[in-house]
Structure 1
Amino acid sequence: MTTTLLIRKDRLQDTRWRTEDDRPLANGQVRVAPDLLALTANNITYAAFGDSMDYWKFFPSNEEGWGVLPVWGFGHVVQSLHPGVAVGERLYGYWPLADGAVLQPDRLDATGLRDAAPHREALHPVYNRYVRTGADPLYRGSDEPFQVLLRPLFTTSWLIDDFLADQDFFGVRRVLLSSASSKTAWATAQLLAKRPGLDVVGFTSPANKAYCERLGCYTRVLAYGQLGEVAADEPCVYVDFAGNADFRKAVHERFRDQLKYSCAVGGTHVQHLGGGAGLPGPRPALFFAPAQLKKRTADWGAEGLQQRLVNSWRAFAAQQDREPWLQVRSHRGRDDVQAAYTQLLAGRVDPSEGHVLTLR
């Protein structure tokens, strides 16, 4: 039996559980039990942009109007009809928010495999790759919860920092970040803070302002209502992790031509999502991390890219070891998992906490 959380695509607060018999595996398939999954603001972005960015297509629900939320995490193989994948093997990757998943492994090597399920063929390959923990340079068994919470977010942050540096920060020295308490924004700010001469300004809710200041990576932390405290006559770029259309409009109207680049990374403020057409200054772009990943793979080769990312991740993880800022909160079973999703969607989650899920 497999239990899956279903989410109404047009009313993300509506959820229900579905339990169904496992279908028999075909030759070449494997069944995995995802057993440690992360739930972060990143997942709310997946739901908010589920149709426009194809996130609902990774794990089709086969029920009209309902979607299955993709989540990052670890799982172990419980059944295998593929000669190259052993029962008990541990994999890191992209799973449905469920206690079971079927993969069709392809392009196997010592480091991992690809899911070659036909419905995923046209979807971006970065989400179809599964890493074998036994050959993973980022893996450390003792800190799986930290990895499952921050690894995909850190990769996005690393690519944002790299993209901005690759563009010479569009000729500016000030970067504005919304949703400053979110883990992706925080990791981005940590990386940007290492760039000499950058003014990194984080915006957050009044309730999270003190927390963001304690992180130590922002030059300044301001509440959303304090936008007017940033000089309008100095050039800047805006990286939007919240997706709040009202604040995006305020940023564009304040800085106008002094805003040299504006991009959206996430959509955690789901009640305030909106487009960017007709705003002063540059048209907001959607930052799609896999595109920068593809560019850097071409620039440096797969091994060169991986080594740079590994080195940066290790430095980031070492900082967490020295100055822990993230408290892991575990949720087990249907009711607890469902409640964690509901609270995150409503924005009622302490930013200092990271939430990991186990269904069984």
Structure 2
Amino acid sequence: MSTTTLLVRQDQLATTRLLTAEDSALADGRVRVRVEQFALTSNNITYAALGDMLNYWQFFPTGEAGWGIVPVWGFGTVTESLHPDVAVGERLYGYWPMGTHTVLSPHRANAVGFSDGAPHRASLHAVYNHYLRTSTDPLYRADNEDVQALLRPLFITSWLIDDFLEDQQFFGAKRMLLSSASSKTAYGTAFQLAQRGGIEVIGLTSPGNVAFCESLGCYSRVVTYDALDQIDGATPSVYIDFAGSVGLRQRIHAHFTGLAYSCSVGASHVQDLGGAGQLPGPRPVMFFAPAQVKKRHADWGAQGLNDRLVAAWNQFSAAVQTATLPWLVVQHHAGPEATQALFAAVLAGNSDPRAGHIATMQAG
């Protein structure tokens, strides 16, 4: 049997290639998983763009200098197991390579799932190393795997951003500015913020995405990037940057003299990444979701955190799927070449914001 993987040039993300290699015999204590379907969104582009800074390239090393594998969220099924606590046929939700198969080293297995105990992942954050058994996962539903793969990891980040801001009393501000307002992580955050009352949530986007953002119903108003001067700059505000655009960040910091906090989350504008230099106002701070998970785990315990997340996810996923105008229209892409083409399209930013892309490297 062989495994086909999509490799990405780490310093030139548009350069990709497909690699097929024969599988080696499975070592004792390991499992082989068929990666069946995964979401491909601007979130994965962020993983690639920040791969060196936040160690995303380390999860699935290629052994080839300069080439990496972009991690994705989705579902897989165990096809071979030499671990006593993981059965062939088990379906798992978690963090996968863009490939047809992968090998995991289950560690600390229990009824909920297990962690990958591979030595190269030992220093990486537990949130990304954990694999959940769908048979016991409280967020899992067999009839909406696509929505889970597309929105679950993004929504958890959204929920944690909202929780972090509330925990910090919104830094004394009543206005939240969200760039890349059409992105899934941004509108998940807006959905949470909109429920709080007394918070103005302004979506910043390009002209072509205004109608989509307005149709979601979770933004107080939507403003195009070239119309920032229509917003009063003196009002205390928090900037939540999902775009990663240096030029936009400079304009935001210059115009919004009342900026109370600048939160950097994503990097969907990859072509415009870079150091921001000397900015007026607060220094941008990178939001790292696992840090807020750790804090809330200490505050509420594992069950308390899980209960809150499940309740919030159920409310959000219901809103996404029952809207008169769907927030999400799923598109499927099957096969290595189709996945490679999809990665190029998402990287270039050519995707309809209403589209949710589910890919599989398995031949269609």
Matches within 5 A, 1:50-69: 50-69=51-70
* Amino acid paired to 1:61: T
- Alignment match, 2:119: 118
CA distance in 2, matches of 1:114, 1:83: 15
- Alignment match, 2:92: 91
- Determine helix, strand or coil for the equivalent of 1:3: strand
CA distance in 2, matches of 1:210, 1:113: 43
Aligned with residue 352 of structure 2, among 338, 344, 350: 350
* Amino acid paired to 1:225: D
- Alignment match, 2:198: 197
* Amino acid paired to 2:78: V
Contact 1:126-1:290 within 8 A present in 2 as well: yes
Contact 1:58-1:119 within 8 A present in 2 as well: yes
Q: CA offsets, 1:188-223, max 9 Å, x none? A: 001100011111001111111111111111011011
- Determine helix, strand or coil for the equivalent of 2:135: helix
- Alignment match, 1:302: 302
- Determine helix, strand or coil for the equivalent of 1:143: helix
CA distance in 2, matches of 1:249, 1:276: 7
- Determine helix, strand or coil for the equivalent of 2:256: helix
Structure 1 residue 319: Cα displacement? 1.3
Structure 1 residue 8: Cα displacement? 0.4
* Amino acid paired to 1:246: G
- Alignment match, 2:235: 234
Contact 2:321-2:328 within 8 A present in 1 as well: no
State yes or no: 1:15 paired with 2:19: no
* Amino acid paired to 2:278: G
Q: Which moved more, 1:330-339 or 1:316-325?
A: 316-325
Q: CA offsets, 1:325-358, max 9 Å, x none? A: 2000000012211111111100100000000011
- Alignment match, 1:288: 288
CA distance in 2, matches of 1:24, 1:337: 27
CA distance in 1, matches of 2:87, 2:52: 35
Contact 2:176-2:238 within 8 A present in 1 as well: yes
Matches within 5 A, 1:166-205: 166-205=167-206
- Alignment match, 2:275: 275
Structure 1 residue 46: Cα displacement? 0.3
- Mark the runs of 5 or more structure 2 residues left unpaired by the alignment: none
CA distance in 1, matches of 2:28, 2:222: 55
Aligned with residue 329 of structure 1, among 328, 331, 335: 331
Contact 1:277-1:283 within 8 A present in 2 as well: no
Contact 2:321-2:327 within 8 A present in 1 as well: no
CA distance in 1, matches of 2:20, 2:75: 21
CA distance in 1, matches of 2:175, 2:216: 19
Matches within 5 A, 1:243-258: 243-256=244-257, 258=258
- Alignment match, 1:28: 29
State yes or no: 1:261 paired with 2:267: no
How big is the alpha-carbon RMSD for the aligned residues of Structure 1 and Structure 2? Answer: 0.7
Structure 1 residue 320: Cα displacement? 2.2
* Amino acid paired to 2:235: E
- Alignment match, 2:209: 208
- Mark the runs of 5 or more structure 1 residues left unpaired by the alignment: none
Percent of residue pairs bearing the same amino acid type: 58
- Alignment match, 1:339: 341
Runs of 4+ aligned residues of structure 1 deviating over 4 Å after TM superposition are none
CA distance in 2, matches of 1:139, 1:24: 32
* Amino acid paired to 1:290: P
CA distance in 1, matches of 2:339, 2:76: 17
Contact 1:7-1:13 within 8 A present in 2 as well: yes
CA distance in 1, matches of 2:319, 2:269: 29
Contact 1:276-1:283 within 8 A present in 2 as well: no
- Alignment match, 2:313: 313
Q: CA offsets, 1:309-336, max 9 Å, x none? A: 0000011112123213200000001221
Contact 2:33-2:79 within 8 A present in 1 as well: yes
- Determine helix, strand or coil for the equivalent of 2:34: strand
Q: CA offsets, 1:272-329, max 9 Å, x none? A: 0122341011100000000000000000000000000000001111212321320000
Normalised TM-score (structure 2): 0.98
CA distance in 2, matches of 1:66, 1:317: 35
Structure 1 residue 26: Cα displacement? 1.0
* Amino acid paired to 1:341: F
- Alignment match, 2:163: 162
CA distance in 1, matches of 2:126, 2:84: 23
- Determine helix, strand or coil for the equivalent of 1:356: strand
Q: CA offsets, 1:84-126, max 9 Å, x none? A: 0000000000000001111000111101100000000001111
